[in-house]
Amino acid sequence: MTIKLKEGINTLICGLGKVGLGGGLTEGSDVLTHYKAISTSPLFELVGLVDPNIEKRDLLGEKDKSKYYERVEQVQARVDVAIVAVPIADILSATEEILSRFEPKMILVEKPLGFDERLWNGSKSLNSHSRICFVNYSRRADPSFHALREIIARVSKEDDIQVTARYGGSFFNSASHLLDLLRWFLGDLREIKYAVARKDVQKNLESEIDFGLTYDSARVSVASVGKFGYPIFEIDFFTNSGVFRARSPFKGVIFEPSLDRSIEINSLTDEPLFQNYSTVTQLNVAKEILRFLSAGETSLPSLKEALEILKQLREISNIAGFSS
């Protein structure tokens, strides 16, 4: 079901942490939180801002303080869109509670979803609402990544593409971003060729793992580059025309043409390619929400797709020698 975008879209944000709220409206022109993206759009109407930490209320704009609640059950308004940005351990239960109390037209869940997709697959309420549940792998909403995806799809019809990738941060967090993008760019995963844990790292879920993958249109070798306080990932697409480098966060897409061949980028895509959209990440996501509500389409991955990424992570971890 779609709605007219001229109507107020009642929106609930559950979880007012770093991605849900951050510093409130004090981030200048950056739009890195759901709260800022939703509260600054005239098409959305915030009806609930939920977090058990009452101190979060002080970070809200004056007009929104009355919409703060400690628990989802306190929200009485109709909810059209629910954004779930709570800690990993609470994501499943929070999503189920929202589905039990409201009839949203879309639920957007933050990532990663946890370490085991089997917990989600066992949820009857989620299985019956899977068509409205999406996961916020936000680079899919980035116009420059859209443009790169279009170019790779066209170039791969003529050239053999070689792909290398790197991730930094914890395996289940950072590599989940990477695997989602690789699938979006290259099609379905056909085979996990190898997975090797770093020998000098203690075996646990945060271990660094190098692995090789085969997709529909390319083979990919992936290396861990260490642990960081935030997830980073980089993908290099080597084509006859040159190298396309996707960088996240903060650098967008870079192109290095080959010495013996030039390429007219503008002939391959109508999307802006080399602009950096990382400072308005959640504004891009809000636009994808609007696209789904108005047209029933979005580039954001469905819950089913995101759970497949969790399954792949678990399989890679198992091959590397970690039980799950």
Please give the domain boundaries of the chain with CATH numbers for all domains: 9-138 (3.40.50.720), 143-274 (3.30.360.10)
More confident residue, 144 or 252: 144
pLDDT score, position 205: 46
| 230 pLDDT above the threshold of 90 | no
| 263 pLDDT above the threshold of 70 | no
Percentage of residues in the chain with pLDDT exceeding 90? 52
| 53 pLDDT above the threshold of 60 | yes
Low-confidence winner among 17-21, 85-89, 172-176, 200-204 (lowest mean pLDDT) = 200-204
pLDDT score, position 74: 97
Q: What torsion do the CA atoms of 124, 126, 131, 133 make, to the nearest 10 degrees? A: 180
pLDDT score, position 125: 84
> What is the band of 300 on the pLDDT scale with cuts at 50, 70, 90?
very high
pLDDT score, position 65: 94
pLDDT score, position 281: 87
pLDDT tens-digit map of 183-207: 999 999 999 999 998 755 454 444 6
DSSP 302: B
The answer to whether 131 touches 105, Cβ cutoff 8 Å, is no
SS3 214: strand
pLDDT tens-digit map of 117-140: 888 888 888 888 889 999 999 999
| 261 pLDDT above the threshold of 50 | no
Strands (DSSP E) contained in the chain are 9-14, 44-50, 68-69, 81-84, 106-109, 133-135, 162-168, 189-197, 209-215, 219-224, 232-239, 242-248, 252-257
| 260 pLDDT above the threshold of 70 | no
The answer to whether 258 touches 250, Cβ cutoff 8 Å, is no
pLDDT score, position 198: 72
Record the tokens describing residue 275, joined without a space.
Answer: 């602009």
pLDDT score, position 72: 97
The answer to whether 108 touches 134, Cβ cutoff 8 Å, is yes
Rounded to two decimals, what is the model's pTM? 0.89
Low-confidence winner among 132-136, 153-157, 261-265 (lowest mean pLDDT) = 261-265
Low-confidence winner among 38-52, 145-159, 272-286 (lowest mean pLDDT) = 272-286
More confident residue, 15 or 232: 15
pLDDT score, position 222: 94
> What is the band of 270 on the pLDDT scale with cuts at 50, 70, 90?
low
